[in-house]
Amino acid sequence: MLAEVVRQQVQEEGQSLVYDRFSGTGFYRNITVRQSARSGQVLVNIVVSPMEDRERQTGMLQQLAEKMVGAPLSPGYKVHAIVGVENSENSESVPALPVSHQLYGPGNSYSETLLGCAFQVHAQAFLQVNTQMCEVLYQVLASLSLDGLTAKKLALCFSRTVLQGGTEKDAEKKRQT
């Protein structure tokens, strides 16, 4: 699986490349894996501290991405995109407009469907990772509303700040173009 690929890469390259937040040294800061049980798409976000040797940095990220793409995943899942993100800040939070590098795939998001609406979820987006529970949450919140707010409208409202939204028909049009 992907965790084993990362573990092997670190063993090959050396433990000193793992970021130490107290000393501010190292390369690999964190890796986020997001997936959709509905689309089967997996998005990998590799956050690193930028290196002075950009060629080495690119090579290391590409090598890790190639291994991840070839790694076995649970049935029904496939790596859709891998993005390398640079974070030169002391904080573990990724900057609002980070320097990112497309390492694999068509973009920096994966497809998700909530309450019949199709979304492209980005690595930094805030979204409940359990899609079914997210839908339940939206339905419960909508049921408490006195203004006729539906769960679908609520999902679209929340999505405007963190997702690129649209309907299933919009997503199909994008796939055809």
73: tokens are: 């995943």
**How would you list the strands of the sheet with 99-104, edge to edge?**
28-35, 41-48, 78-86, 99-104
Predicted local confidence at residue 57, as pLDDT: 93
Low-confidence ranges of the chain (pLDDT < 70): 95-97, 145-177
Q: Which residue has the tokens 């390369």?
A: 27
Architecture, CATH, for domain 2-107: 2-Layer Sandwich (3.30)
CA 114 to chain centre: 17
Residue type, 163: L
Q: Which helix (H) or strand (E) holds 60?
A: helix 54-70
C-alpha–C-alpha distance, residues 95 and 154, integer Å: 27
C-alpha–C-alpha distance, residues 26 and 88, integer Å: 11
Predicted local confidence at residue 18, as pLDDT: 92
Predicted local confidence at residue 146, as pLDDT: 59
Predicted local confidence at residue 59, as pLDDT: 94
Predicted local confidence at residue 43, as pLDDT: 94
81: tokens are: 């995109």
Give the other-Cβ count within 10 Å of 102's Cβ. Answer: 13
Q: Which residue has the tokens 């899942």?
A: 77
Predicted local confidence at residue 174, as pLDDT: 44
| Alpha-carbon distances, residue 15 vs 55, 63, 119 (angstroms) | 20, 17, 38
Predicted local confidence at residue 161, as pLDDT: 41
Predicted local confidence at residue 159, as pLDDT: 56
DSSP lists the bridge partners of residue 99 as 86
Where do the domains of the chain lie? 2-107, 112-176
- For 11, phi then psi, to 5°, come to -65, -40
> If we measure between CA atoms, which residue out of 175, 157, 52, 61 comes closest to residue 107?
175
